[in-house]
């Protein structure tokens, strides 16, 4: 305990010294004005943040104790719970939560924003119209005009993946890091690919594609590749974050949150965009 108190005090002293150094360096930099050839000083800020980080870590250890280090392990499959005599995967439970949240959000928007829509959009209406308009334009630029149902499906998929990313921010395993969920999403896309292929080209036109046996193999590989690609990327982000927490141990304060902005926010949004783009690509191949 004595060591932790000393280190907390050292961290506080370093933070204070860094703050004073930063204040002095900024004053000199501002005084130089346009004649300053050097960039804005960053080293004092780094020293101050390191001191704050060390002090916070040691204060937390003093308050809550030191968490013992456990062996590192990653489960490919999601945990299961018993609910009403049924064994359910936590992926299903979290999916229900996301669905309920999206349905509630849709009802709120329907009863507030949509029923009061004006000719000149503003506020939430403006945001909704921008999202819908851009998604419809992106869909039309890739596959032409196939109706309003396709952009609605793509918007639903994107919102579900955003909901999964939000859950991951709270330390909950995202449903999209479960192969069963990603395969279900890929199967829905596979059904849509064939639906639009039959709708545009007819049964005979769609059947002509399979005169080449390789097209059968490539089409059957579509849901597998979609599911495995999304699953691998989302599971990879989960493993990276778990490795970071494991490696830092009790020092996992602040830094994992900064890294998590990429792996729990930006990275899932990229995967949503890629999934939507691949869906449109495969549908475009089916109708061309």
Element (H, E) at 89: strand 86-89
Task: Specify whether the CB–CB gap between 245 and 67 falls below 8 A.
Answer: no
* pLDDT at position 233: 87
In this prediction, residue 186 has a pLDDT band, given cuts at 50, 70 and 90, of very high
User: Distances from the Cα of 194 to the Cαs of 72, 131, 283, 287, in angstroms?
Assistant: 43, 27, 8, 9
* pLDDT at position 37: 57
C-alpha angle with apex 155: 153 to 158, nearest 5 degrees? 110
Residue 221 pLDDT more than 70?
yes
Residue 39 pLDDT more than 80?
no
How high does pLDDT run on average in the chain? 84
CA-to-CA distance for 22 and 49, rounded, in angstroms?
A: 11
* pLDDT at position 96: 93
CA-to-CA distance for 216 and 213, rounded, in angstroms?
A: 5
- List pLDDT tens digits, range 43-100: 888 888 888 888 888 888 777 777 777 776 777 788 888 877 788 889 999 999 999 9
Instruction: Give mean pLDDT, residues 102-112.
Output: 89
CA-to-CA distance for 171 and 256, rounded, in angstroms?
A: 11
pTM of the model: 0.77
Instruction: Give mean pLDDT, residues 174-192.
Output: 91
* pLDDT at position 21: 85
Of 46, 72, 62, nearest in space to 250 by CA: 62
């Amino acid at each position: 305990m004595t060591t932790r108190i000393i280190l907390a005090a050292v961290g506080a002293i370093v933070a204070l010294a860094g703050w004073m150094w930063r204040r002095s360096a900024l004053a000199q930099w501002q005084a130089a004005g346009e004649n300053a050839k050097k960039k804005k000083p960053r080293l004092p800020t780094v020293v101050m943040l390191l001191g704050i980080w060390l002090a916070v870590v040691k204060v937390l250890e003093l308050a809550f104790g030191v968490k013992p280090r456990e062996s590192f392990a990653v489960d490919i499959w999601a945990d299961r719970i018993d609910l009403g005599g049924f064994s359910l995967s936590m992926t299903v439970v979290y999916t229900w939560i996301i669905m309920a949240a999206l349905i509630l959000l849709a009802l709120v928007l329907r009863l507030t924003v949509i029923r009061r829509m004006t000719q000149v959009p503003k506020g939430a209406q403006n945001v909704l119209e921008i999202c819908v308009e851009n998604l419809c334009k992106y869909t039309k630029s890739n596959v032409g005009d196939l109706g309003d149902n396709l952009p609605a499906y793509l918007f639903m998929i994107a919102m579900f993946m955003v909901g999964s990313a939000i859950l991951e921010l709270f330390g909950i395993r995202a449903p999209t890091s479960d192969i069963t969920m990603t395969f279900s999403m890929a199967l829905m896309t596979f059904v849509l690919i064939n639906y639009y292929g039959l709708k545009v080209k007819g049964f005979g036109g769609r059947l002509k594609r399979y005169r080449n046996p390789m097209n059968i193999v490539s089409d059957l590989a579509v849901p597998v590749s979609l599911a495995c690609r999304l699953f691998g990327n989302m599971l990879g982000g989960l493993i990276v974050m778990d490795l970071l927490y494991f490696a830092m141990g009790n020092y996992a304060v602040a830094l994992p949150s900064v890294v998590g902005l990429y792996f729990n926010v930006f990275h899932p949004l990229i995967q949503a965009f890629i999934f939507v783009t691949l869906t449109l690509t495969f549908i475009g191949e089916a109708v061309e």
